[in-house]
Structure 1
Amino acid sequence: MQKGEYWVVRMFLKDHTCNIDGFHACLRQAKSWTVGELLAPKLQVHGHSLKPKDIMVEMQMDHGLHLLYTKAWKAKDHVEASVFGPPEESFKLLPAYCHRLKEVNPETITAMKTNVANQFEYLFIAHAASLHGFRTVIRPVISIDGTHLTGKFSGIMFVAICLDANNQVFPLAYGFGDVEDEMSWTWFLNELKSSIGSPKDCMIISDRHLGIKAAMEKVYHNVPHGYCVFHMAQNIKNDYKRKYMSLLFKQAWKAYRKPDFKEMMLEMMKVNRVAFEDLMNVGPERYAKKPFPDFYGDCYKTTSWLEAYSGNIFLVGHPSEWNIPQDVQSKVVHPPPFHARAGRPKKKRFKSVGEHGNGKTRNCTICKKSSHNRQNCKNPQPCQAPQPCPSVTPATSAILKRPRRPYKCRKCGEEGHNS
């Protein structure tokens, strides 16, 4: 436009008529918060968050936008904050949430611990329906474990589960903490003991985590502590690099009679004495089968199975519907300290013990068998007969010997001399 000229909008059509296929991929794309607003209705319907790769595929199919992984991750954070609220605000609702949970589900037990700066440290929740099922019909064998959280503030989730009459997982209690160590497990087991006590013939099973072992000696020192044989078998397989070692251990802990158990352990001693001594130092009472005086128990009956799930767990509803007392509202809970991980995030995480690999079995290049390589192969390598040297004839000599290119003079271009 020249100086002094102007233009005026006479009519505005809000419907877009541009074809999105005509845009080039190098042009400016939608902002991450715009992508989050497009995904917010779907998140409200499904109730669970989307993965960044799913967001990339969905935006490509629905809107023809090619998003980078970083922008898809930021869009995921925006849509979660808009639907569920920011993580910092969720910590402030914890006192009101625990009060509301016990209000709609009487006899539910909750406990929370903060530091001197009112920052979140631990949380324990045991629903009344789970406590009722455990106290009445569930077998008193408790499995405890922890798993890492992948949110903004990371942390650990502690779980305590049992098995019902159909050998299905029955949740007993769960909690949250900052790290998995002796202090956190001691606090969680103390709250668990205050909720269920020490039932008769109770037993707790876990992996060989040092924090769990130390906490068990402090809290449940009179309760038998067993180790998960699945984790032990995987540790034996990884420590001694022999698959048949874990198979021998599996046959040992599955034995119902003492002679069968001793036979498998002696066989393991012949194969690898170090592994045998390690298992004996752990103690056979921690992984072998226990003798039982009765042929059956009431916890295995169908009526017990139905009674275990007779309780109800009611939802707390939206926070706008809560009627929280003033003393609960006055409690302040801040989020835990944020610790940024050092270095660049890894593209692939380290697999835990027991996770399957790529499914490929590496064999020895000499005997073509597994469980070892060519450096420690005990099978002798067969000697190969020396190959006879091929005879050289004048015809083959002419073929194998390449003719030499004659030199030419640089000045006159003739052969026989140089410049």
Structure 2
Amino acid sequence: MGQQSDGDAAVGSSTEFQIRQSFQNKEEVVLSVKDYSIRQGIEYRVLESDHLKYHRKCKEFDKGCSWLIRISLHARKGTWEVRRYNGPHTCLATSISSDHRQLDYYVICARIYSLVRADAAVTIKVLQEATEANYGFRPSYKKVWMEKQKAIAQIYENWEESYAELPRWMLGVQSTMAGTVTVLKTSPIHLGDQVDESTVYFHRLFWTFLPCIEAFRHCKPLVSIDDTHLYGKYGGTLLLAIVQDGNSNILPIAFALVERENAESWSFFLSNL
């Protein structure tokens, strides 16, 4: 699913579709039809779906409901248009469970994107409640957790790409903030008893900024150190050095991202500090 420009796709609601109603791309088409179906409490069946057309009918179509929609690509305009529409539904809502078949990963990701972009630490419970308030259905914890990971990857790139960008990030910070100190330590890949020196992985990173270094000169000559565990895909531990100024204001002066708290990682941090 592509990244949304503002966190929410231009989707429909319970409002009925109109003949020649247009959409920018198929992604918007799919999300609009799903959104409509969830709000109606109705499920649909797939008839056709490819790079040129999108055709759906009500799950109860063979039992008397006449709802169906056909949306296809207008090649000359480059947009998707509603070519045929029989609506509204003439059946009663059939979804009585706490979830909805069309409330899938695709829809959830579009709906929670803006919340995750505003606060990557937002809890799954909050995202579940926001989705339920929007649609009236509460998706499972697993569904929302998986879509939060996808939203984070869209916003910040995935974990592997983020770690691969560290050297560029270090150069970027040093070029824009003169006096920044960074120390990156990598380790080679071990395959049994063999060591692949051509491939390395992230091990530890130490960094501090020039304002922190200069501010320390005006602080009490006492440094406190602490750590906090990280709970991302690869875990790890963040080490910090903290000082106080004459008014007892707390100032962090140095940081390190390490695999875990042990003698070697503390030695790496303190020696660079």
The interval holding the TM-score normalised by the smaller chain is 0.5 to 0.7
* Structure 2 residue aligned with 1:132: 214
* Structure 2 residue aligned with 1:75: 147
For the 8 Å contact 1:50–1:76, the answer to whether it is kept is no
User: 2: distance between equivalents of 1:183 and 1:8?
Assistant: 63
Count residues with an aligned counterpart.
Answer: 185
For the residue of structure 2 that corresponds to 1:76, the secondary structure is: helix
**CA separation of 1:14 and 1:55: change in aligned 2, threshold 3 A:** farther
For the residue of structure 2 that corresponds to 1:151, the secondary structure is: coil
User: 2: distance between equivalents of 1:156 and 1:187?
Assistant: 13
Q: Does 1:32 align with 2:105?
A: yes
User: Which amino acid is the alignment partner of residue 80 of structure 1?
Assistant: I
The superposition leaves residues 357-397 of structure 1 with CA deviations (integer Å, 9 ceiling, x where unpaired) of xxxxxxxxxxxxxxxxxxxxxxxxxxxxxxxxxxxxxxxxx
User: 1: distance between equivalents of 2:92 and 2:173?
Assistant: 49
User: Which amino acid is the alignment partner of residue 212 of structure 2?
Assistant: S
User: 1: distance between equivalents of 2:155 and 2:178?
Assistant: 29
Instruction: Return the offset for 1:17.
Output: 7.1
Give the unaligned 5+ runs of structure 1.
Answer: 2-6, 193-419
Give the unaligned 5+ runs of structure 2.
Answer: 1-61, 63-67, 71-81, 190-199
User: Which amino acid is the alignment partner of residue 266 of structure 2?
Assistant: W
Instruction: Return the offset for 1:11.
Output: 4.4
User: Equivalent residues in 2 for 1:336-375 (5 A)?
Assistant: none
For the residue of structure 2 that corresponds to 1:133, the secondary structure is: helix
- Structure 1 range deviating more: 120-129 or 161-170: 161-170
User: 2: distance between equivalents of 1:17 and 1:166?
Assistant: 68
* Structure 1 residue aligned with 2:258: 177
For the 8 Å contact 1:157–1:177, the answer to whether it is kept is yes
User: 2: distance between equivalents of 1:56 and 1:15?
Assistant: 30
User: Equivalent residues in 2 for 1:136-285 (5 A)?
Assistant: 137-192=218-273
User: Which amino acid is the alignment partner of residue 120 of structure 1?
Assistant: F
User: 2: distance between equivalents of 1:65 and 1:33?
Assistant: 15
The superposition leaves residues 382-418 of structure 1 with CA deviations (integer Å, 9 ceiling, x where unpaired) of xxxxxxxxxxxxxxxxxxxxxxxxxxxxxxxxxxxxx
Which has the higher relative contact order, 1 or 2, with Cα contacts under 8 A spaced 6 or more apart?
A: 1
**CA separation of 1:72 and 1:97: change in aligned 2, threshold 3 A:** same
User: 2: distance between equivalents of 1:16 and 1:166?
Assistant: 68
For the residue of structure 1 that corresponds to 2:219, the secondary structure is: coil
User: Equivalent residues in 2 for 1:380-419 (5 A)?
Assistant: none
**CA separation of 1:19 and 1:161: change in aligned 2, threshold 3 A:** farther
Instruction: Return the offset for 1:31.
Output: 2.0
More strand by proportion, 1 or 2?
A: 2
Q: Does 1:115 align with 2:187?
A: yes
Identity in percent: 24
* Structure 2 residue aligned with 1:61: 133
Instruction: Return the offset for 1:30.
Output: 2.0
User: 2: distance between equivalents of 1:114 and 1:31?
Assistant: 39
User: 2: distance between equivalents of 1:133 and 1:36?
Assistant: 43
Instruction: Return the offset for 1:19.
Output: 11
For the residue of structure 1 that corresponds to 2:204, the secondary structure is: strand
Structure number, greater radius of gyration:
1
The superposition leaves residues 74-133 of structure 1 with CA deviations (integer Å, 9 ceiling, x where unpaired) of 111111111111011001100000011111110110001001231111000101110010
User: 2: distance between equivalents of 1:61 and 1:186?
Assistant: 50
User: 1: distance between equivalents of 2:141 and 2:89?
Assistant: 29
User: Equivalent residues in 2 for 1:97-116 (5 A)?
Assistant: 97-116=169-188
For the residue of structure 2 that corresponds to 1:36, the secondary structure is: helix
For the residue of structure 1 that corresponds to 2:84, the secondary structure is: coil
User: Which amino acid is the alignment partner of residue 185 of structure 1?
Assistant: W
User: 2: distance between equivalents of 1:175 and 1:39?
Assistant: 31
For the 8 Å contact 2:100–2:137, the answer to whether it is kept is no
Instruction: Return the offset for 1:24.
Output: 1.9
More helix by proportion, 1 or 2?
A: 1
User: Which amino acid is the alignment partner of residue 184 of structure 1?
Assistant: S
* Structure 2 residue aligned with 1:310: none
Instruction: Return the offset for 1:51.
Output: 1.0
* TM-score computed with the length of structure 1 as normaliser: 0.41
**CA separation of 1:18 and 1:183: change in aligned 2, threshold 3 A:** farther
* Structure 2 residue aligned with 1:414: none
